[in-house]
Homo-oligomer: A and B are copies of this chain.
Amino acid sequence: MEPAASRQAFRGRWVRVDEEDWPAGTWEVVRPLDAACVLPITPDGDVILVRQFRAAARRPILEIPAGLLDVEGEQPIDCAARELYEETGYRHDSIELLARVLPSPGFSTERIHVHVATTKHRPEGEPEDGIEIVRRPFAEAVEETRAGRIEDAKTALALLLSASRGVGG
């Protein structure tokens, strides 16, 4: 379905907002870029998370490596693999899609492609500036998620999806 009318209400550098007329009323629809992310699991069964400052949260947030789909023609799975290397220095050995999810379908078009990867034993590069690498056993990270202590939704989802599929041991 398409709206009867749509007006661009705001256009920033990363985010656009449209006002759309639908039979039930007028809605604001936020249009950020879509994103890809990946839960990296080492051959030893550790997950590699990144802690970085997020302006929207006013503090550092613990997340899996992720990035915007801002490279023309790049597939989400390749974006996830690239972000893994750029943010952590680890290259993937294998990588697969877990799910494509809508984090906020009530007002935002954003779609996140969630992956899980096995990594090489050792990093081949340096972590990105401003990123702290947090490495911990997979089971421990899943337990934290179950206890409600992983705030980032895509990270919690990647951990629980991997655990429920028996990935990561």
Contact = CB atoms under 8 A, between A and B. Distances in A.
A131 B63 CA distance: 34
Interface residues of A, number: 64
Interface in A8-34: 9-10, 12-15, 17, 19-20, 22, 24, 26-30, 32
Contact of A15 (B3, B17, B160): B17
Interface in A49-92: 53-59, 61, 63, 66, 68
Interface residues of chain A: helix, strand, loop or mixed (majority): mixed
> Top 7 A-B pairs ranked by shortest CB distance?
A103-B103, A99-B148, A10-B10, A160-B160, A101-B153, A12-B28, A54-B105
Interface of A: 1-3, 9-10, 12-15, 17, 19-20, 22, 24, 26-30, 32, 35, 53-59, 61, 63, 66, 68, 97-110, 112, 130, 142, 145-146, 148, 150-154, 156-157, 160-161, 163-165
